[in-house]
Amino acid sequence: MKNFKTIPQRGDFAYQTLVGPQQVSGRALHDLRGFFGLHLTKGMPFGVVRDDEGHMYAMVRALNAPGSTPNPTKFIYQSSRLDGQCIRMDKARMAKQAMTMFPERKLEGDTAVWASLAREDGSPWQITASGERMTWREEGLFDLQGPLIGTGMQWYLPGVDWGTFYVSQLYDMHGTCEGRPVKGVIALDQAYMPEGGAIHFQKDLVVNNKMHVIWWSFATIYKDGTWDAGSFMVGHDHLGYAIFQDHTGAVRATTDIEGLATHKPGSYFVDSARIVLDGKEEWEFLPDPRGEMRDFVGGFPITAQQEGRWRRVGDTREADRWMAWGESDRRNGSARNVRGADL
């Protein structure tokens, strides 16, 4: 049972979140309708794939909805091959791709399609997604495809003036990147915001109010064929949700979640992180030694983005492919209602 130490104003639910699964379809991904008085602002395909040498390639592209307010992200491509120390933005390769602001969009059967414009500068790209598969091709750079992992996830956070409805689906991807065979996981998220809102940028109920401590999406496919996947957030006041699923078909959701982020001395990146679900189930973050996305620091998004792997404490299964791209913000704090400070 939640306890309220202060009484919020009318329409303010003290950052309580509604969370659950959702059916994935191309038609739903393509649909421009709003929900809860909020508007679709953008789709956000992002993820990490690895080659046979363990090098990581991390990519994200903005699929801005018609008439929406874009944030600064258009296309970002990162690699651990640039310096071998962390995941760095490959600005030379990024510059060759089309920096589409509002993509061409269509529905083919039950597959949603987004693509660069016909007479646009830069190499063309195309993304397709449905309730079965996703493809992502950036000409001259990478070509990925793979099936949906489990089912979709969604959460809704109401506010007095702003709100956020957030939808996510994860895909098990393989293909080639810079000519090398790769495999990993790509998330395709969609954010619904108030008029003029943009995720991580403006009218963002969580980020603009410095409320979250930990926020991750993850999936791990193990060598024995089993898998775990999920999304979760821990923040201040009553902010927090978790939705987890696995190979058995079980889908679980809760707002009873606590977490602790331990940052490296003098760094925005975590050395370790843990979450506890329903007061008893513990999960831990295993940071990739090269997983820090340092070029985001001081830029956009303003939070420290970091790759690694999430596992339930005590789980000894051997991972085959995975993605755990998420963020912490030491300025916001280290745990619920434990505020932080800048460096």
> In this predicted structure, what is the pLDDT of residue 299?
79
Structurally, the chain folds into a number of domains equal to 1
Q: Is the dihedral of CA 329, 330, 334, 335 positive or negative?
A: negative
* Among candidate residues 267, 285, 268, the one with its CA nearest the CA of residue 325: 285
User: Is 163 within the bounds of a domain?
Assistant: yes
Q: Classify residue 337: in a domain, yes or no.
A: no
Q: Quick check: is 335 in a domain?
A: no
Whether 294 is in a domain gets the answer yes
Q: How far is CA 184 from the centre of its chain?
A: 14
Domain-located, residue 340: no
- Mean pLDDT score across all residues of the chain: 97
How confident is residue 39, by pLDDT bands cut at 50, 70 and 90?
A: very high
pLDDT tens profile 314-342? 999 999 999 999 999 999 999 999 999 99
pLDDT single digits (tens) 195-254 = 999 999 999 999 999 999 999 999 999 999 999 999 999 999 999 999 999 999 999 999
Sequence-ordered list of residues with C-beta below 8 angstroms from that of 63, at least 6 positions apart, any chain: 42, 43, 44, 45, 103, 105, 114, 127
For the segment 306-312, the average pLDDT, to the nearest whole number, is 98
3-class DSSP assignment, residue 125 = strand
Specify if 333 maps to a domain. no
The rounded distance, in Å, linking the Cα atoms of 335 and 259 is 6
Q: What pLDDT score was predicted for residue 1?
A: 85
**Contact assessment for residue 169 and residue 148, using Cβ atoms and an 8 Å cutoff:** yes
Domain that holds residue 255: 18-328
Encoding tokens for residue 260? Answer: 């602790």
Vertex 179 angle, CA 175 and 185, to 5°: 30
pTM of the model: 0.97
In a domain, 4, yes or no: no
Give the amino acid at 62.
Answer: A
CA distance linking residue 314 with residue 305, whole number of Å: 26
Residue 301: the pLDDT is 76
